[in-house]
Amino acid sequence: MATVGFVGLGIMGRPMLRNLLKAGHTVVAYGRTPATLDLVVADGAQRASSNADVGARAPIVITMLPDGPEVEEVVLGANGILSGAKPGSLIIDMSSISPLVSQKIAAECEAKKVDFLDAPVSGGEPKAVDGTLAIMVGGKPEVFLKAEPILKCLGSSVTLTGPVGAGNTTKLANQIMVACNIAAMGEALALAARCGLNPEVVVNAVKAGLAGSAVLNAKGPMLIARNFKPGFRISLHQKDLRNALQTAEANHVFLPLTAQVQQMLSSLIADGKGDFDHSAIATFIESASHVEVKVPGA
């Protein structure tokens, strides 16, 4: 069993931390919100006084934060994790951020003889809770082997995808596919609803064929039930697609579908839906078509 530091106690971070505790690891936690930190301490985590304190007390530290600026502040900032970390320790950033930011942080860590992995996840809150996240890792193979037993407490799939930055590049690819799938699902079910069909029947008819997907299975029922409780927020998915478009621009790649869906997300945020689950991407199509995807008579 290891002592693991954890910074970032949001929708994803809290259940991930609890799974580390369930596996028998000692967890040293820190977060800016005292009430949230109190919750994980009540679960059995040890309370740290700062990010630097986490780095000083834990040889392996996991961060799970909203975006690159937050990761830079927590890891590299004054009183950050790196300021307390000892040579030979390991920082695993499981946030979804720009690959360029991951590479910048890794270079700063290497200068202080601290290892670094970028290891973003897919699966949202449900898979964070049951410990079956898909984890995409970027870093040195020998560092990955050191981290793999810890990561397997959090995910059912843990894959080294390449050097530092590759994890987040893989996550951006994942987020493109998920967002475009939800948008396509919205178009398909809006058409079915306009034509008077029961969307539940349509989903059941197509899910065993080529159109079937994990996205359809998870997000179709949420849309039909009008359940937009966030497992993964629209605001965060918009951030991911923005990072994807910036990475594409730097690498001269044309992403027309991503750009269009990213604009849908921006419109939904402006409409006050930034904290909705990303299944609500489909509501952009509904609004434009003046139709609602629901069971007839519901």
Q: Say if CB 7 and CB 63 are below 8 A apart.
A: yes
Token pair in block for residue 33: 């919100």
Average pLDDT of the chain is 96
**What's the pLDDT at 238?**
97
Q: Say if CB 108 and CB 74 are below 8 A apart.
A: no
Looking at the predicted structure, is the pLDDT value of residue 148 above 80? Answer: yes
Specify whether domain 169-289 bears CATH 1.10.1040.10: yes
Q: What torsion, rounded to 10 degrees, do the Cα atoms 46, 232, 255, 168 define?
A: 20
* Mean pLDDT value of segment 57-80: 97
pLDDT in tens, 156-167: 999 999 999 999
Write out the DSSP string of the chain: --EEEEE--STTHHHHHHHHHHTT-EEEEE-S-HHHHHHHHHHTPEEPSSHHHHHHH-SEEEE--SSHHHHHHHHHSTT-HHHHPPTT-EEEE-S---HHHHHHHHHHHHHTT-EEEE--EESHHHHHHHT-EEEEEES-HHHHHHHHHHHTTTEEEEEEEESTTHHHHHHHHHHHHHHHHHHHHHHHHHHHHHTT--HHHHHHHHTTSTT--HHHHHHHHHHHHT----SSBHHHHHHHHHHHHHHHHHTT---HHHHHHHHHHHHHHHTT-TTSBGGGHHHHHHHHHT---S-TT-
* Mean pLDDT value of segment 249-277: 97
Q: Count Cβ atoms within 10 A of the Cβ of residue 42 and give its class: 0-12 exposed, 13-18 middle, 19 or more buried.
A: exposed
* Mean pLDDT value of segment 23-45: 96
Residue 247 CA: distances (Å) to CA of 101, 107, 278: 11, 19, 22
**What's the pLDDT at 1?**
87
CA angle 45, 48, 51 (to 5 degrees): 125
Looking at the predicted structure, is the pLDDT value of residue 298 above 90? Answer: no
**What's the pLDDT at 254?**
97
Q: Say if CB 112 and CB 85 are below 8 A apart.
A: yes
**What's the pLDDT at 86?**
97
Q: Say if CB 90 and CB 143 are below 8 A apart.
A: yes
* Mean pLDDT value of segment 178-192: 98
Which residues are known to be catalytic? 171
Residue boundaries of the structural domains of the chain: 3-162, 169-289
Looking at the predicted structure, is the pLDDT value of residue 64 above 90? Answer: yes
Q: Say if CB 245 and CB 266 are below 8 A apart.
A: no
Parallel, antiparallel or unpaired: strands 26-30 and 3-7: parallel
Q: Say if CB 32 and CB 9 are below 8 A apart.
A: no
* Ranges 21-25, 90-94, 120-124: which has the least confidence: 120-124
Topology of domain 3-162, per CATH?
Answer: Rossmann fold (3.40.50)
**What's the pLDDT at 222?**
96
Range 173-188 burial, b when 16+ CB lie within 10 A, else e: ebbbebbbbbbbbbbb
pLDDT in tens, 195-252: 999 999 999 999 999 999 999 999 999 999 999 999 889 999 999 999 999 999 999 9
**What's the pLDDT at 62?**
98
C-alpha to C-alpha distance for 23 and 120, rounded to whole angstroms:
20
pTM as predicted: 0.91
* Mean pLDDT value of segment 274-278: 97
**What's the pLDDT at 124?**
87
**What's the pLDDT at 263?**
98
* Mean pLDDT value of segment 85-102: 96
**What's the pLDDT at 296?**
86
> Sorting pLDDT into bands at 50, 70 and 90, what band is 174?
very high
* Mean pLDDT value of segment 114-121: 98
* Mean pLDDT value of segment 278-284: 97
C-alpha to C-alpha distance for 107 and 167, rounded to whole angstroms:
16
